[in-house]
Chain A
Amino acid sequence: MRSVAGRSAAVLAAAALVLTGCGQGGPGGGGGKISGDKVVLGVINDQSGVYADLSGKNSVEAVNMAIADFKKKHPDSAIKDIEVVSADHQNKPDLANSKAAELYDRQQADIILDVPTSSAALAVANVAKQKKKLHINVGAATTELSGKSCNKYTFHYAYDTYMLAYGTGTTLTQEGAKNWYIVYPDYAFGQDMNKSFTAAVEAGGGNVIKSDPTPFPNDNFSTFLLKAPKLNPKPDVIGTMQAGGDLVNLVKQYNEFKLADKGVGLAVGLMFITDIHSLGVEAFEGVTFTDAWYWNFDDKNRKWADRFQAKTDTRPSFAHAGNYSAALQYLEAVERAGTDESDAVVKELEGYEFDDVFARNGKIRAEDHRMVHDAYLAKVKEKSEVSEEWDYEEIVSTIPADKAFAPVGDTQCQMG
């Protein structure tokens, strides 16, 4: 008897839930054009692996800051409720794929943000295309997102391999580092970086003497480092495309072999401020790299970084600021469109020009959905010049938005 009663209760409860659900979505709900009366922002990134520090949970915090700022600016907005949901993709494309589907379908996410790791990003972009929901990628580097694999619902926001290569490769070559020796990890990102860097060095009038793929992951780079000064002609600089733990390994060993004293400089393809923080500024002194954003660049950035630090106890990486900006610009676009319906929001975003704490001279290109903005050539300070914790970078020059990213015609994007 009891079990039957229990079951009936469950059926009733389920029916009640379904009915309330209908009520909300129905014409009487009063939400107007915002689906379900709320906007749901999804964040998918690495919350436990190699990229957890540079984006991870603190990116979710940055998105929360964007929501707070949006609400303050638009107290009478049609968007009554904004919610954040997040998932850990562990840098695996298959997991990113299923998490994205889950967020869009079950959690009613209107957009997915962040998604570092190129292969995972391409997987999410594909889901976005199928579900006709938005994806603004902040954390991944591959130019394919706004190139071969571009689509109507995907935007690429913070940086890409072209930006990194153009900034570091072209600029250093023009400053006199004519001969390069490139070492890159042997997987998609490394190969992409190698190609971009070689093109950038050659465009600057330089020459890549040799480029070697290295095992990934790898803890012993001494062979490559010893080889460098003996190449003919001797390279002016070693360009390393390693990231995370591998980068730390390589830099430690570069210092150990005292290659700087032998006249071989070091340029790093992709570096986050968290890398410098973890290894200590001594290890990277004088290393040149391209940064998409730096927290201590000016007062505006600094103020935002102070707010971020109050919440997270750490200074923001460019990925954190990028996620803040992407979430904010998305909400603004929904506000302008008056609806969270994907096609209308895409129309608002395309061609939009703006300035915010992350993007200076920002513009979302309609042709390939690349967000272009000013980038920065940075140099790691000497230890004696560091006046406070996290203040590791000297911004050498600003690379204007129209130069920092690949020209529209070169990106092979067929928007379909």
Chain B
Amino acid sequence: MVDVTQQLFNGLVGGGFLAMLALGLAVIFGMLRVVNFAHGAFYMLGAFGAYLLLTEAGVNFWLALLIVPVGLAVVGMVLERAFVHRLTRLDPLYNFLLTFGLALILQDAVKSQYGTQSKPYSRPALLDGSLNLGLFEYPRYQVFVLVFALVVCVAVWLVLARTRVGMIIRAATERPELTRALGIDVGRWVTPVFGFGIGLAGLAGVLAAPMRAVHPAMGADLIITVFAVVVIGGLGSIFGAVVAGFAIGMVQALGNLYVPAASQILVFILMAVVLLWRPTGLFGREEVLT
């Protein structure tokens, strides 16, 4: 029993990363109708940002946790203004191509500059060691990651549910034309939301640096699972993305425990089943195409 609890906890930690990445993808898709293929690359840039700040400028983990996401959010906003924005009115395929190409460029640029080998990054001293959780001991850092991911998700949810900005974003996500007709300037919020989504990916990257291998392909390896998470949760559904993120994390952990050989495809089997049962995903709504 302890075993399974521990594994589920494990899954929650892995799920925290998936949830944060899926959340960013979901808000971007909701607001812009763009599937951001470069999301994994920004996750990778987040981890590299933390590594570079430490080695080049001696900036520690805690500051990196603040600087990197903000910096990447700014990069994201510039990209939105410079490229993404120009293509949103065309066929969605154009933005597929743009973000996909961007992902390849970013990944190869990092590869040619810093090589393919993983970079070292150690845990902050404060989070060394392990914590007694009653039933079992667990590495302090991983507990921190889980708590942090939960806080981020709840905070985003509060902003969306309780603030005026959140209301506008939700309205624009669900009925962009109608929101505009009510005299609300939706366009103003598109760029910050894109930047915010990218910032979340960067944040997940910084969190990953101390516990995962920091290398140029780290985002590309993970992003496929994140896409499955977003599809299972329901495209554009923010709540769905978070719930599915944590759920898939646990499914993967249990898969590794009981059927290691199949754990890789388990997520995709689950995705297929969900799509057969609810073609819009668990929390997605039928979209009326106009």
Contact B120 A48 (CB under 8 A): no
Number of interface residues of A (CB under 8 A): 39
- From A48, A50, A224, A278, B119 is in contact (CB under 8 Å) with A278
Q: Which of B98-106, B189-197, B258-266, B279-287 contacts A (4 or more CB under 8 A)?
A: B258-266
Contact A220 B116 (CB under 8 A): no
* A186/B213 contact (C-beta < 8 A), A52-B115, A53-B117 known: no
Please measure, in the bound complex, the distance between the C-alpha atom of A50 and the C-alpha atom of B221, giving whole angstroms.
Answer: 13
Confirm or deny: A205 has a beta carbon within 8 angstroms of a beta carbon on chain B.
Answer: no
Confirm or deny: A410 has a beta carbon within 8 angstroms of a beta carbon on chain B.
Answer: no
* A245/B211 contact (C-beta < 8 A), A222-B14, A274-B117, A278-B118 known: no
Greatest chain B CB density within 10 A among A51, A217, A220 is at A220
Contact A246 B10 (CB under 8 A): no
Contact A53 B14 (CB under 8 A): no
B206–chain A nearest beta-carbon distance, Å:
15
Residues of A with C-beta under 8 A to B19? none
Main secondary structure of the interface of B (DSSP, over half): helix
Confirm or deny: A300 has a beta carbon within 8 angstroms of a beta carbon on chain B.
Answer: no
Interface residues of A in 362-408 (CB under 8 A from B): none
Confirm or deny: B180 has a beta carbon within 8 angstroms of a beta carbon on chain A.
Answer: no
Confirm or deny: B237 has a beta carbon within 8 angstroms of a beta carbon on chain A.
Answer: no
B215 and chain A: residue at smallest CB distance: A245
Confirm or deny: B13 has a beta carbon within 8 angstroms of a beta carbon on chain A.
Answer: yes
Render B244-287 as a binary contact track against A, CB cut-off 8 A, 1 for contact: 00000000110011001101100000000000000000000000
Please measure, in the bound complex, the distance between the C-alpha atom of A245 and the C-alpha atom of B222, giving whole angstroms.
Answer: 13
Confirm or deny: B41 has a beta carbon within 8 angstroms of a beta carbon on chain A.
Answer: no
A193–chain B nearest beta-carbon distance, Å:
16
Residues of A with C-beta under 8 A to B34? none
Interface residues of B in 169-189 (CB under 8 A from A): none
Number of interface residues of B (CB under 8 A): 40
Please measure, in the bound complex, the distance between the C-alpha atom of A244 and the C-alpha atom of B221, giving whole angstroms.
Answer: 13
Greatest chain A CB density within 10 A among B3, B142, B257, B260 is at B260
Residues of A with C-beta under 8 A to B108? 48
Contact B211 A226 (CB under 8 A): no
B257 and chain A: residue at smallest CB distance: A223
Residues of A with C-beta under 8 A to B215? 245, 248
Contact A226 B117 (CB under 8 A): no
- From B130, B142, B213, A249 is in contact (CB under 8 Å) with B213
Residues of B with C-beta under 8 A to A48? 108, 111-112, 116
* A223/B10 contact (C-beta < 8 A), A49-B116, A186-B264, A214-B256 known: yes
Contact B120 A280 (CB under 8 A): yes
* A214/B111 contact (C-beta < 8 A), A48-B116, A252-B211, A279-B118 known: no
Confirm or deny: B7 has a beta carbon within 8 angstroms of a beta carbon on chain A.
Answer: yes
A222 and chain B: residue at smallest CB distance: B10
A261–chain B nearest beta-carbon distance, Å:
10
* A214/B260 contact (C-beta < 8 A), A248-B213, A249-B212 known: yes
Contact B14 A245 (CB under 8 A): no
B10 and chain A: residue at smallest CB distance: A222
Contact A53 B116 (CB under 8 A): yes
Residues of B with C-beta under 8 A to A186? 261, 264
Greatest chain B CB density within 10 A among A216, A245, A280 is at A245
Contact B217 A245 (CB under 8 A): yes
Confirm or deny: B139 has a beta carbon within 8 angstroms of a beta carbon on chain A.
Answer: yes
Confirm or deny: B48 has a beta carbon within 8 angstroms of a beta carbon on chain A.
Answer: no
A225 and chain B: residue at smallest CB distance: B10
Interface residues of A in 186-216 (CB under 8 A from B): 186, 212-216
Residues of A with C-beta under 8 A to B260? 212-214, 224
Residues of A with C-beta under 8 A to B142? 222, 256
Interface residues of B in 215-257 (CB under 8 A from A): 215, 217-218, 221-222, 252-253, 256-257
Interface residues of B in 128-175 (CB under 8 A from A): 130, 139, 141-142
* A53/B256 contact (C-beta < 8 A), A222-B13, A230-B3, A245-B213 known: no
A50 and chain B: residue at smallest CB distance: B116
Confirm or deny: B6 has a beta carbon within 8 angstroms of a beta carbon on chain A.
Answer: yes
* A278/B139 contact (C-beta < 8 A), A219-B221, A222-B14, A226-B10 known: no
Residues of B with C-beta under 8 A to A411? none
* 15 A-B pairs (CB sep. < 8 Å): A48-B111, A48-B112, A53-B116, A186-B261, A214-B260, A222-B142, A223-B10, A223-B253, A223-B257, A245-B215, A248-B118, A252-B212, A256-B139, A258-B139, A283-B120
Per CB-CB distance, the 8 closest pairs between chain A and chain B, nearest first, are A223-B256, A278-B117, A215-B264, A248-B213, A248-B118, A280-B120, A212-B260, A245-B213
Given contacts A50-B116, A52-B116, A252-B211, 15 further A-B contacts (CB under 8 A): A212-B260, A213-B260, A215-B263, A219-B221, A219-B222, A220-B212, A223-B7, A226-B3, A226-B6, A230-B3, A249-B213, A252-B213, A256-B139, A258-B130, A279-B120
